[in-house]
Structure 1
Amino acid sequence: MASFGKLGELYKMQKEAREMQKKMKALIIDGESKDGLVVVSINGTQEIEDVSIEDSLLSVDRKDDLIKRLKQAAKAANKKLQKEMMKDMDMGKLKGMLGM
């Protein structure tokens, strides 16, 4: 049978996890293609929030260029997000959550 102290700790950790999820959902990171013609915005849970495409890329004969730039922008956004997450991560808290 778990002690009340451990149950309290578990509740606290769950509350912190919910708060972190809210924070990550609110975090918006922009990634751009190398030439800046495409911008992909993702939130902290890696969901795409917005895509901005320069009008010059919106023609059938530029489809391959558009695809290339979308991939570049998405990759850039994910890299930025990973850096942001590592910066904010409290390694001690993470180890505690993992039971280390």
Structure 2
Amino acid sequence: MRFKQFLLSIYVRFKGNPIFLKSAIRKADKLSKKTGKRYRVFFLKNRYEALTREDIQRRKHSGEWGWHVNSSNLEPHSFYDTESVSITNHPSFGGAGGGL
């Protein structure tokens, strides 16, 4: 039993390699520029995936995920977001939404 857990931990460590995260981030940025949609990078099924809100809804409707799952629930678990708030876009700094 311990040996199986050890092999699983090595497998997840390899698949969770920062190289794969960077490639998923590049893919998310590329798709976001191409389609204009918001992409988030998640670690699902032992790999990084770039998903939009529509992808999450599609998995929900196909029965892969439960009815209670939505993009707001998954947002804290994302590794990267193409529309993340940077300090220069924050409203208090005069970015999007105006300043104080």
Q: TM-score range with shorter-chain normalisation?
A: under 0.3
Where relative contact order (Cα < 8 A, 6+ residues apart) is larger, the structure is 1
Instruction: Pick the structure with greater CA Rg.
Output: 1
Which structure: greater helix fraction? 1
Under a length normalisation based on structure 1, what TM-score does the superposition of the two structures give?
0.28
Which structure: greater strand fraction? 1
Under a length normalisation based on structure 2, what TM-score does the superposition of the two structures give?
0.28
